[in-house]
Each structure stands twice: as structure tokens, then as C-alpha cells.
Structure 1
Amino acid sequence: MRGMTDLGPLSLSPVMKPADPPGEPLPGIIKTKVFKEEDYINMPWKNGLGGTKQIAIHPHTADFETEEFIWRLALSEVRDSCSFSVFPGYDIALLLLPEDERDGSASVKNTVHLRRGSLTSPVALHHNDQATAVPLRPLTPYTYSGEWPTSCKIRTGPMRHLTFIANRELTRVTATLETICLHGLHDDGECSDSDEAVHKAPGEVNGTKKDATGNGNGTALPLGDECKNPMNGNVNKLLIGNYSIVYVVSGAVRVTIEGTLEPHTVLAGQTLVCERDDDSSPTDLAMTPLRKDGRAFEKESEHQDATVLIIQVNILRPERRRHSSLSDVSSFSQARPRGRSGSIIVYDDQPLPPLAGIDGDTAASSAARAVAGPSSPTSTIPMRSWDSARHYKPPVFSSRFKNESEVPPAVVRDQLIIDEFPVGAISTVWINMVKQGLSEWLRIPVIVARGKEEGPVVGITAVVHGNELNGVPCIHRVISDIDVSTLKGTVVAVPCINVPGYLRYTREFSDGKDLNRMFPGSPTGTASQIYAYNIMEKVVGHFNYLIDLHTASFGRVNSYYVRSDMNDAASAAMAKLQQPQVILHNSGQDGALRSAAMTRNIKAITVEIGNPQQLQNQYVQWSYQGVMRILSWLNMFQLDPADLAPAAGPPSSTILCSKGYWIYTKTGGVLEVYPSVNTVVRKGDLIARIKNIFGNIVDEVYAPGSGVTIGRSSNPVAMAGDRVLHMGVIKREGEVLAREAKENY
């Protein structure tokens, strides 16, 4: 026996069909099922880097993408370097498989022929972003904690591996890798060619042959009636866990389980799962080698070794297994819906929840009454009572319930050359921008999703201002929802343009300049100009379309609105597909990234999605939906209507503004701004007051014209000349939009 390892508390998930009608299993009953390869559930990765076939999962009704599970066994093929999903609370065991000699496909022929004990390592894992690699060797089980962020580097060709995932608190798992030989094993662990070749001292105990684990077999089980000369190449195991899993790596075996009517024939690539009730006594399992076609050997010259992985899973909490048989396990796991349900943060432009009186006999109500005190009918101050504290509801399941990998580890390049990246796959890359003070490269992150068919190149950029972050999760969701197998063209996402500002939590670039007023930049200008120039030359210049994601800056809040040159048909269509609250006609000519792109005939819009230095789920959802509508409009991606459910839909109407302008303060003080964003204001309305520090009103600000509030100040501390309100002038019917429309930033 070689390759034995104790996987510790693990959890796997078999997909088994009930052999009996639903109900409570009878004590001592043993259920078995052989899963053939056509029974495995195919789960291709949307990033095109590989695919997974789910062999079995427990509970058998569990949906891997939406529900908790106890254990799961899967077979994966990884075609390129990738990142594995994290599984907090689980342990993960990997077994790198040798080349599948049963299959003559091109993918297999290109696979390096792996043998157990090979000194070369075609695959390496990196945990927790550490530089030190952990080599994976063929047929050597490797276990690691599911909490560790892990990337996989493929050195030579695609790889195939088994993945066993187990819940650390609910299971104990052991795994052994057995070599089953016709004539047993030498003392060096290699298969013997004949009975006489086996060394007696290590191979026999009181005249009986040892099995692969080194334990005496007693008597050998016959191979079948058709075998005239029974042979002794058997392996016996004692099953004590709730689940026993036998995966045949190579060869074929006949498995006989005590208490079952007939033995099972399991061929290479097939899996036998055995379930035992808690009340079952230890069960004997015996395996004998067969021919590749599953028939017994008729003569010794046909003999073939078999390599088998045996996993035993013991469930630790029987009280949670009341219905954990193959027939009914629904009590363990309840489905939890995926998706976003709306903003989790209340802002001043969102209504507060209704107030309620402190009534009832609950403990919370009693505590609230104690705080509020007795009400008095003669009190001149009305008492308002709040509902008791709300119960926290955790978010939906994380990405660990998606297929193994979303984006792979990044490579480094001097510029973006899309043709260098594989079609039908998602790639990540660091692009060298400029040298910083240590004479090391300052790089920006880029994600490239290339479809299998030709099509346009759409760029999505975020964090041109270092504190404007809502675009980052928008990009993450777009990339995670794109299936490159159906994508036409290429999506290039840059989740952080202004890396120095992002790291310093500031809007500006490292030289203190507003980067979004420096485009298209200059190769010999200031630091921000050179950086802007390289952004255009190395990345943005390869786009056909650009969606630039922004938010308000510090001290301001925004509506969900879009800046676009509405005289350009393609840009106007992109703006409308975002379905924002406001569209602001702006022709550019202001040093912004959008303006520089339009100068190069790259159709572009700027999407303003909420407020700075925070993540707002509702705004992220709206912008994500808008980007997906644009990709669908360009015939690049088929939009799933489920992603645009009414509950998460965009604003119901859009206001088109022919121009916009800011209203500024004339004096300093404590600023109170009254209109919320996305609110229609009439000319002459009082929109703000300024008080001195003692509370006296020193100035009042009135709307100089009618319009809609696009953004507003949220900072009460105002200097003379600070911003108050961003007003949009609503386009009149029949009005012709100006050829050049700018704003007083």
C-alpha cells in the first residue's frame, strides 16, 4: 500500500439515487451504487480554463452552488493556470491522476504521461499568495485547508485530478491509495509477476498472503465461476464509516461487500459509493483485479494491476443525520437564494423605515420602554419610538459554491496585446505603467475575457479617481457572470486605473493632480500626464467601446447618472441602455478618459454610480445590469432575463438633461443642503442655508433655475466657493443639443 494519508475532518458530496422509497432507513441496511462516467454531472467553467464533473455529493439533493453540503467528490480537468475557490470550514484533498489511457482524445494525448512516484511535478499550488510553491505529484494525495486562497500553476499540459471536500466539523475522513495485484506485492511495494516471486517474510503471515495494507487476508475470495484457477490478488478492507467511496484510477476491480447480494464490477473512471447506517456493524469489503472490460482473467498472461482510491467518511453528529440516508436528506440543507436584494446601507436620499410605537411584551420592547421612559400627556415634546433592533441576516453564499475557478493568477506584460491571450478563456495580467521611486514597475490590473468568436472589444474601467470604488464590484460581477464559451468578442476590464490614489485613499494621482483631467496625457509631461499617456497607449487604445465607472468624490453624493455625448448615436444608445436616473449631455473636451477615448473614435460613456469610498449594493446592481445590457446590444453576450428581475431592476424613468452646472457657496460656515439627489427643483426654491458656528444663519442659497439634482454636497463644513448642488437642466421638447456642452467643474 502506498500513498496513504489521513485527510482529517473532511466532507464529500455524492449524488446518489435512492434505492428504496423515501423514509427512515432501517437499522443495519447497507446501500450501494456504482456511478459510471455518464452519471457524473458536467459543470463547465465559465472562464474556459477547465471543467468539473461532480461524481457525488451529500446530501444527494444539495445544489452545490446554493446550499451547504457535508462532502463532495468531483473530477476536474484544468487546462491552464487558475485559482481555486475557497471553502471556509472545509478541508480539501486533491489527487493528481495519471494520463487516461482509456481515452484517445486530443486533450489526453497532449497530457504529459504521469506515473506515481515521478520526480517531476507538472503542477504546483500557491497558498495565501505565497511565493513558495507546493508541488503536486501523480497519485500522491494532498490535503489543505479550504480557507486558504489557492492558485494552481500548470507547468506542462492540462491536468486531471480528483477533489474531495469535507465539512471539518461534521466529518472524519481517511483515504488510502491501493495497488491491487494479481499475485500481491513485493516488500518494495511493487507488484509481483508470480506467486513465487513474493517474499515470504513480508508477504505471508502464518502461510496466508498480506493485502496491500500489510494485513493478512485469511482466505482469498474466488474471482468467479468462469475462473478455473482462482488467484490470490485480493485486498480486504473493514468499513466502519457512514460512507465508503471506491474510485478506480486504473484497471478494473470486483468489489464484494458483506451484506449485499451481489458483487459490483467497477471499471477505470467509475465510482462505487456505499452507505452504512449508524447502527450497522463493521462491514468487510474485498476487491479483486479484473480485465479492463470487467471480466475475470482466463489465463495469467492477461493479468493487470488496478489502482484504487478508497475514502471512508464518518459523520460526527448523528442528530443532524435524522434523514441523511440516500433517500431523504432534505432536513440538513435548505436552499438559500443567490443574488442581491438591494442596498444594505441607508443614505440621506433613501427613505427611512417607518416608525412604530413601543408595544408588546417582548424583552426588546421592555428595554425600549425603559430607555424611553413613561409618556406624559402634558409633555410638550412629542415622543417618537423606534422599532427594536433588527436581526442580522448574513449575505448569500460566497464564490466557493461556484465552479472551481473564476480568474487565474496574473502574468506580467509591458502592454496589452489581446491576441496573446487564449480564446474561450479568462486571463488576468499586470500591465507595466511607469517606474516608481524604488525603480520598480507600477502596474495596473487587467482582466481579459476572450470569446471563441470574433466581435468587438469592450473596455470597462474603474477607479480613475482613487476613492471611487463602486465600479470595482461591478466589474467583478460582470466578469463572474460572463460565460466565455458563448461570448463573442472580448471584454477587457481594468478594476483600478489610479493605483497610487487607490492605495492612498485619495482622489488624486501621486503628484496631487486630478488624473481625469490629464488625458490623453504626454510622454514627457508631469507624472500624472505620463501615467495617463501610458494608460491610453498600452490599454485603452485597443478598445472599440469604453464604459468608465465613477462615483461622487469625498464630501459629495450622486444620483445614478451617465455622462455622454448624446449627439453621437452609439454613445447615446449606451447611455440609454444603462437606464440611469439622469443622463447628462456632455460632449467632453475636458481632459477626461471618456473624452480622450472619443477623440480616437472609441464610443464611450461615463457612469456615475453613487458615493465615494464605500460599496453600495443597489448602485452596483444597477450598473452591472447596464453593462450586461450593452454587451447584449452589441450581440456579444446573451442576457439572462433572470438577472434583470423586477425586484432588482433599474430606476423606472430617466431624465435627459441638456446641460449641467454646479452651484457654489459665497461664504463659509455650517452648510445645510435640503434637496435629495434625483429631485426636481423649481427656480427660486430654497436649497441650502449656511450658519455660523453659533447657529446664526449667515446666508441662504436659492435655485437660480429649474432642474433636477444630479449630486449634492454631503460635507457640512464649507468654505467660501465650495460646492452646494449639481443641477441638471432638463431638456425641453424639440430642443437641439449643443455640439459642445461642458460643465463648470
Structure 2
Amino acid sequence: MNHHELKNITILKETILPGESKTINMEIAKLHTMTKLKIPIIVERSKFHGPTILFTAGLHGDEINGIEIVRQIITQKINKPKIGTIICIPVINVFGFLNQKREFPDGRDLNRGFPGTKTGSLASRFAYNLLKEIIPHVDYVIDFHSGGASRFNAPQIRVVPDNPELKALADVFHAPFSYYSKNISGTFRNSCDKLGVKMLLFEGGKSIDINDEITREGFEGSKRVLDYLGMLNSTKKISIPKNKTIYIEKSTWIRAKYSGMFHGYTKIGSYVEKGQLLATISDPYGKVEHKVKATDSGYIFNVNDAPIVYQGDAIYHISKKLKN
């Protein structure tokens, strides 16, 4: 196709022509100090026909590792496409990022507020604008998240089961784990799916933290997807991991049976046998020490990083074998 067939893109009344680079500032609401709050949307277009991919992070304001991945995609100029268009929104929930909080100032989780409404709560208006202004231009989304509340996620791609196209993209991204999880109502992923936009959700690390290994997995996987779509700048190289992606179809949480000080012995991503000692939970006075054992044989793909746990707290996420 010749490059004349590329359409103009208009976001928030600003038009971005083929071959153009533009940062558009989305302003939904001021801070209570009357300070303007800008959410930069970084658009890079080639002159040649191709798909549009959106990289987003910071939907939860305390999940900083994803923001770092998108920042590196920009600083390493991975976001300058050979064909098509790449849009980056490193921080969606700037309010939460300012306060190092997961939620919006209205106390709501933005990722339960989609598709949103024009005149609803602040988070709801935000969701509405994101879907109305940006998603109509987009074919693919990679959305970056981290584990919440001191729980560290192994690098993983989440996709819905029984979707061959998403499975193919997850294979290309090639994270250490891919986890089949159904769409949750009210999420960005669910809304994208309903609008026919293909989303890979990346999970890795924990909130209020930047981990170099997680960053590298997210960054390299994104490059592999761009390469697969024919969009990766010719000067950039990809690397293919030695190990295959491990697909997790069923999993269970191992919860603390007691409250106390938590001592974990299990490395994230490792395979454990049923009954294996994973951690101990002790009182502070040297009297008791409870063992935590693996409930199944499987991969540990989320671990608790908090030093103190309460009875019932989720401390490990472990994959379960499917019964044949």
C-alpha cells in the first residue's frame, strides 16, 4: 500500500498526520489546588500503512514498574514505528501516581469503572474519555500492571481462554508465564475486548517498586510483538528466550492460616512439589513457628513480600495441574 492510504488520526481535537510525532495532553480535571493536571499521550506515526498499537501503564497509580517499561519504550525510541502508529500513555492515573495510591481521588478503582460515563464520578469520566478518544483508533493494546499490596507477580501475560489470536500474541510476547484469566466486568481489558481491540495484559513485580528483571521482560516482550506486527524500527534487535512460555490454566491461592511474622523461602517462578515447605509464620516472641506447605505441585507465580501477615492473607499463587 502506498502511504497516501494512511488516515489522519484525531485525538482530543488534535490531528496527527502520517509521519508526524505529537504529544497530546489530556486534561480531565484540575487538582484541588487549581493546578492543571496533564496526562501526556505520546503519538508516533510512520508514513506507511500498518496497525496502531497502544502501550499503557499506571492505570493503578502505585504500579510504577509498568510506567518504567513504557518510559523505556519511549527513551529507547522503540515507539518510532516502521509502519503504522504507536501510542504511549505511560501514566493513565496521574492522580494516583502523585499520591502513590492505586485508586483515583474519588476512592474508586479505575479498572472497575469501564466503560464509564460522561457525567459520572471522576474515574468514570476518565474511563469514558479513554474509550471515546483513543481506543477507536487502536488495533492492539499492551497494558502494564504490577501485583498489589506487597504481592510480587512473576512476569506474565494475561489473556482470556479460547482466543487463538491472543494466544498467538502471548506466544510472541514470550513472557516466562502466560495466565488464562477471564475478563472481569468493569475493566479496561473487558471494554477493549467488547470493542474488538486485542489486549495483552502484562503483570509483573509489585506496587511502589521498580524491578530491573520485570522491566526487561516487559520491554523485550513488547519489542517482540512490534517485530511480529512488522512495526519494529529496523535498527532495533529482538532476543528470543530459551525457555517456552509456561501456560497456567488453573491456579489457587495459598492463604495464611495464622497471623504473624512471615518468612518466605520460595523463589518466584520456581516449581514446587505438593507438601514442600514454602514459608514459616512465627510470633514475635519466639514461642511458635507455623509451617506453610504447598497445597499442590506447581509453579509459584506470585509471592507475598510483606513481613507481617494476617490469617487469611493470600501469600502464594500456585498453578494447578488440570485433571485429565
Provide the secondary structure at the position in 1 that maps to 2:84: strand
Distance 1:668 1:511, change over 3 A: farther
Aligned to 2:268: 677
Identify which of structures 1 and 2 has the higher relative contact order when contacts are C-alpha pairs closer than 8 Å and 6+ apart.
2
Give the drift of 1:438: 4.8
Aligned to 1:453: 48
Q: 1:611 aligns with which of 206, 225, 248?
A: 206
**Could you say which structure has the higher helix fraction?**
2
Q: 1:664 aligns with which of 241, 245, 255?
A: 255
Answer whether contact 1:655 1:730 (CA < 8 A) is retained: no
- Is 1:695 the counterpart of 2:290? The answer is no
Answer whether contact 2:82 2:234 (CA < 8 A) is retained: no
Q: Which moved more, 1:441-450 or 1:517-526?
A: 517-526
Please give the alpha-carbon distance, in whole angstroms, between the structure 1 residues aligned to 2:313 and 2:136: 36
TM-score, normalisation: structure 1: 0.40
Give the drift of 1:483: 7.5
Distance 1:532 1:657, change over 3 A: same
Task: Show the 5 A alignment for 1:232-631.
Answer: 415-416=11-12, 420-438=15-33, 442-479=37-74, 480-482=76-78, 484=80, 487-631=82-226
For residues 325-365 of structure 1, the C-alpha deviation after alignment (integer angstroms, 9 at most, x for no partner) is xxxxxxxxxxxxxxxxxxxxxxxxxxxxxxxxxxxxxxxxx
Distance 1:483 1:551, change over 3 A: closer
Please give the alpha-carbon distance, in whole angstroms, between the structure 2 residues aligned to 1:509 and 1:665: 30
Provide the secondary structure at the position in 1 that maps to 2:208: coil
For residues 45-99 of structure 1, the C-alpha deviation after alignment (integer angstroms, 9 at most, x for no partner) is xxxxxxxxxxxxxxxxxxxxxxxxxxxxxxxxxxxxxxxxxxxxxxxxxxxxxxx
Aligned to 1:704: 295
Please give the alpha-carbon distance, in whole angstroms, between the structure 1 residues aligned to 2:292 and 2:12: 49
Q: Which moved more, 1:691-700 or 1:593-602?
A: 691-700
Aligned to 2:238: 644
Distance 1:534 1:434, change over 3 A: farther
Provide the secondary structure at the position in 2 that maps to 1:433: coil
Give the counterpart letter for 2:238 in structure 1: L
Aligned to 1:9: none
CA RMSD across the alignment: 2.5
Give the drift of 1:588: 0.9
Give the counterpart letter for 1:662 in structure 2: W
Question: After the TM superposition, which segments of 4 or more aligned residues of structure 1 sit over 6 Å from their partners?
Answer: none
TM-score, normalisation: structure 2: 0.87
Please give the alpha-carbon distance, in whole angstroms, between the structure 2 residues aligned to 1:416 and 1:730: 48
For residues 488-525 of structure 1, the C-alpha deviation after alignment (integer angstroms, 9 at most, x for no partner) is 11111100011111001122222233222222223344
Distance 1:510 1:660, change over 3 A: farther
Please give the alpha-carbon distance, in whole angstroms, between the structure 2 residues aligned to 1:537 and 1:730: 41
Distance 1:512 1:532, change over 3 A: same
Answer whether contact 1:558 1:712 (CA < 8 A) is retained: yes
Give the drift of 1:697: 2.7
Distance 1:497 1:730, change over 3 A: farther
Please give the alpha-carbon distance, in whole angstroms, between the structure 2 residues aligned to 1:553 and 1:704: 23
- Is 1:654 the counterpart of 2:245? The answer is yes
Give the counterpart letter for 1:602 in structure 2: V
Give the drift of 1:563: 0.7
Give the drift of 1:633: 1.5
Give the drift of 1:435: 4.7
Distance 1:605 1:523, change over 3 A: same
Aligned to 1:717: 308
Give the counterpart letter for 1:507 in structure 2: R
Give the drift of 1:449: 0.7
Give the drift of 1:415: 4.6
Provide the secondary structure at the position in 1 that maps to 2:116: coil
Give the counterpart letter for 1:537 in structure 2: K
Greater gyration radius: 1
Q: Which runs of 5+ in 2 are unaligned?
A: 1-9
Please give the alpha-carbon distance, in whole angstroms, between the structure 1 residues aligned to 2:13 and 2:85: 12
Aligned to 2:318: 727
Give the counterpart letter for 1:644 in structure 2: I
Please give the alpha-carbon distance, in whole angstroms, between the structure 2 residues aligned to 1:423 and 1:593: 27
Distance 1:447 1:483, change over 3 A: closer
For residues 10-63 of structure 1, the C-alpha deviation after alignment (integer angstroms, 9 at most, x for no partner) is xxxxxxxxxxxxxxxxxxxxxxxxxxxxxxxxxxxxxxxxxxxxxxxxxxxxxx
Provide the secondary structure at the position in 1 that maps to 2:107: coil
Answer whether contact 2:159 2:182 (CA < 8 A) is retained: yes
Give the counterpart letter for 1:625 in structure 2: E
Give the counterpart letter for 2:313 in structure 1: D
Aligned to 1:359: none
